[in-house]
Structure 1
Amino acid sequence: MASSPRSAPMAQLGVLLANRGTLAGARVRDALAGSGLTMRSAFTLTQLADGPVNQQALIDLLGVDPSALVAVLNELEGLGLVSRQRDPADRRRHIVALTPDGTRALHAVDSVLNKTDDDLFATLSPTERAHLERLLAKVTDPGACG
């Protein structure tokens, strides 16, 4: 019985994506280090960009363990970037919002991450970058791209 041909070493898409993801993750972490933020804290700020969110909804949006979110929120609150207030409709819940400093930090993070993207994807045309973004969205959420 003939054996099936093997792909060339490191040619599997998952391996290539994991390898490039490691490189991209390191560059993003390095870029964020200058702002004193981690990827998790920066991503939390981005989830608050459209306005206050209750803490449980934020847990669901981020897909993190509640204790992990509490640690991130404690850090961000200590930096003066977010505030937590009791929900007037349900005193057991907290509403999380960006502070003015948090909004400024988010703009700075966006700028740093845009520069990092420009560096990472400098060899791609704008059309290729848009196509890659669509493909990655499709891989991570097959229902998102019909």
Structure 2
Amino acid sequence: MIRAEAADLPDDGALKTPDRLSRRASRLLSQLTTRSDRLITEGLALADARKWHYAVLASLQEHGPASQAELSRRSGIYRSDMVGVLNELAERDLVERAPDPDDRRRNIITISARGRIHLRRLDKVLDDLHDELLAPLSPAERDQFVQVLTRLLDHHTGTA
């Protein structure tokens, strides 16, 4: 038996998507997420970065120094993966680790001057990628789209 994966199906209209699928917000969000993830991942790779690098640097810039556990909570990165992400950032001098003066068993992570410069560069890269992703929308529609997505996410994560 031959099995077709969603990614194998043509987008050229040769295979017509059933209307009941085309009208499902969950399917549309899934398809857009797939395209968005690919666009962002490839774009950040050209800037020698990954999504997790951006998440950690942005968290440190906006909320200040933090422990690895706190950075995991802020960014949504699993604690088991955070060490690897921080190692990558530290090897490039984008973050600094120092013993926590209140608890010498843990480190406090701080964004470095070089990390702030890199973050500004990544902000520009992501601005351009989002412009590409949201190209068919006017500025007002883009704002509205983000507001609606935020509202839905807040509702489903209990942060509303």
User: Normalization by structure 2: what TM-score?
Assistant: 0.81
What's the CA shift for 1:7?
5.3
Match of 1:3 in 2: none
What's the CA shift for 1:10?
3.0
Q: Is the 8 A contact 2:21 2:27 kept in 1?
A: no
Which runs of 5 or more residues in structure 2 are unaligned? Answer: 1-17
Over the aligned positions, Cα root-mean-square deviation in angstroms equals 1.6
Q: Quick one: distance in 1 between partners of 2:61 and 2:108?
A: 14
1:136 and 2:149 matched? yes
Match of 1:85 in 2: 98
1:97 and 2:102 matched? no
**Higher relative contact order (CA closer than 8 Å, sequence separation 6+):** 1
Aligned sequence identity (%)? 32
Q: Is the 8 A contact 1:52 1:97 kept in 2?
A: yes
How many residues were matched structurally? Answer: 140
Counting only pairs closer than 5 Å after superposition, residues 1-146 of structure 1 correspond to structure 2 as 8-50=20-62, 51-142=64-155, 144=159
Q: Is the 8 A contact 1:137 1:144 kept in 2?
A: no
One-letter amino acid of the structure 1 residue matched with residue 84 of structure 2: A
More displaced, 120-129 or 101-110?
Answer: 120-129
Q: Quick one: distance in 1 between partners of 2:78 and 2:128?
A: 30
User: Normalization by structure 1: what TM-score?
Assistant: 0.88
Q: Quick one: distance in 2 between partners of 1:8 and 1:60?
A: 38
Q: Quick one: distance in 1 between partners of 2:77 and 2:129?
A: 25
Q: Quick one: distance in 1 between partners of 2:149 and 2:21?
A: 22
Which runs of 5 or more residues in structure 1 are unaligned? Answer: 1-5
What's the CA shift for 1:144?
5.0
